[in-house]
Amino acid sequence: MGANLDDASVYYKQQWANEMAVVFAKQKPNLDELINPQTADQTNRARLLTQKYKMDPVFMKEVDKEYGPLEWRLPESHAVYWAAKGLEVARKNPAKIKADDLITLRRVIYQSMQLSFQRGRLIANPFLKVFDFGPNLDIIPKVSAAYEQAAEEDAPNREHILTAHRNFVKDAVYFLYEHNRLKEAAQWYKYLGEKYPNKPLLDNKPESLPKNLSLDDYAVSRITEDVNDLGKDRAQAAIEGLIQSSYVNMTVDEDDRAAGFMLLARKVYDGYMSRIPKERIEVLGLPPFEELTRKIRDRMLDPANNLRFEARAVLRTKLRLPPESPPSMSGTNAPPGASISNQETNAPSVRASTP
């Protein structure tokens, strides 16, 4: 349910989100109101959680403190809960368990936390009536600790676990950079270099050791694959894609991520332009960066494109542009009616997206 290996995985996620929407009153989960319910509605929902789903909100809060913050409307959080429950029961019954049982439970925890890191945050898109998935960056220290604990406890698989840990930290650095959390990105990049100093950071590039790449170089390379050999068309396409991602994130109030995408766009642009010989600037050079941003901005704000009027209004406000005249409700870009699924649950749909 948490991953995307099944063709119907998005459907499963939608159904699970619908069920959890009932438990949490169609809002961000509040465990305290289920631990000490004050109203009839809270009491009914607490009973639903404990009797139908067999989950203890007190223990959920303990799990959230140790491994979270977790998004309890997503399935991977429940996987962490039940694995943690298994560890608790094992501690109380040490004579009935084997060492491999604990390793299996630890594996469920760190693998589910890895998935939660990658796409464990729900981002509401009020214009499309859907939830997108975003990375849960706040649990990075706890995911790293879970990997290290698993490597320590599972000696036969230690090297495999540490390889997975290294790949996780590489992603963590990039995701933090992408979200404009540059101080944290720098801290984890330093940790990566200290923990795995002789491991390359980029695929098929043995020279890409932490000591040879700056944080900026690493982040830009993750986007461009090989910034040194990037052609003009590919470079411009990559930069325009980053600019567009920045503006899209502005419309759903993901302002830190928007700033991170714009920073990456600028870095890719500067990196490409700095590698062009002066005598070839006229042929191989790109338009000024401000011209590229204006081009993408104007394209997104054009009513003939697919961005909804409300989203364009948000973008105009954040870019300090004058308002656009509202469209006719009969126009093709007017807010659509809710789907049957949404009418039944009053909850936004879930759709798959990359972090």
Give the strands of the sheet with 349-350, arranged side by side: 121-125, 130-134, 349-350
Q: What percent of the chain has pLDDT over 70?
A: 86
Q: Which is higher by pLDDT, 289 or 350?
A: 289
**Chain segment 112-162, per-residue pLDDT in tens:** 999 999 888 877 666 666 666 778 999 999 999 999 988 998 888 899 999
CA distances from residue 224 to 95, 201, 220, 231, 290 in whole angstroms, order as listed? 54, 14, 6, 10, 20
**Chain segment 153-207, per-residue pLDDT in tens:** 888 889 999 999 999 999 999 889 888 888 999 999 999 999 999 999 988 889 9
Res. 219 pLDDT band, cuts 50 70 90: confident
- Judge whether residue 76 has pLDDT over 80: yes
pLDDT for 65: 94
CA–CA gap between residue 227 and residue 272 (Å, rounded): 7
Contact 219, 264 (CB under 8 A): yes
pLDDT for 327: 63
- Judge whether residue 254 has pLDDT over 70: yes
pLDDT for 342: 37
Q: What percent of the chain has pLDDT over 90?
A: 43
In eight-state DSSP terms, residue 123 is: E
Range of weakest confidence among 88-102, 217-231, 341-355: 341-355
Average pLDDT over residues 55-77: 93
Closest CA to 334 of 318, 312, 352: 312
CA–CA gap between residue 247 and residue 58 (Å, rounded): 40
Res. 211 pLDDT band, cuts 50 70 90: very high
**Chain segment 272-309, per-residue pLDDT in tens:** 898 888 888 887 888 899 999 998 999 889 988 878 88
In angstroms and rounded to an integer, the radius of gyration of the C-alpha atoms of the chain is 23
Averaged pLDDT score across all residues of the chain: 84
123 has which bridge partners? Answer: 132
